[in-house]
Amino acid sequence: MTSPSLHPAAGPARRTVMAAAGAAGLAAALTACGSGDDASGTVDTGSGSGGSAQDGAGGTALAKTADIPEGGGKIFKDKGVVVTQPSAGTYKAFSSKCTHQGCAVGSVANGVIVCPCHNSEFSVTDGSVKKGPATQPLPAAKITVSGDEITLA
């Protein structure tokens, strides 16, 4: 005659279950943050007004200065940059990737760059955080302005 085992039946270890639950939660969070809505009229999926890649060290033409509204800006999704004009004749560029969770920013208006995922807001002047949850500024990008053309350096 055999006696019942004092050990429970084999199953997944607690550590395995916790790791799987954590991985599933992380995947869900990343999927939600990566699904930015590009319905805003300020997103430019092209290379600007008649712009194209230039030969040599000049970089890529993004837009004409007239394409960038004063106090606002324009997002160049395919280049990963947002170009702003904080004051008349002053042009700045920043990464279009939000520093909170990596979503693409979605709009630029009224002096701020807005991320649609969690509504972080950044200054068009220096990329600094105006409203969280982001805590780090948008990194600056290099552009050159020659005449009426803005070029990604």
pLDDT digits (tens, 9 = 90+) for 106-143: 999 899 999 999 999 999 999 999 998 999 999 999 99
Residue 72 has pLDDT above 50, yes or no: yes
State residue 14's pLDDT score: 62
State residue 54's pLDDT score: 38
State residue 136's pLDDT score: 94
Express as a percent the part of the chain with pLDDT over 70: 62
The mean per-residue pLDDT over the stretch 39-66 comes to 51
State residue 56's pLDDT score: 40
8 Å CB contact between 90 and 69: no
Residue 7 has pLDDT above 90, yes or no: no
pTM of the predicted protein model: 0.62
- The mean pLDDT of the chain is 75
Burial class (CB in 10 A: 0-12, 13-18, 19+), 58: middle
Choose between 13 and 146: higher pLDDT.
146
Please, which pLDDT band fits residue 10 given cuts at 50, 70 and 90?
Answer: low
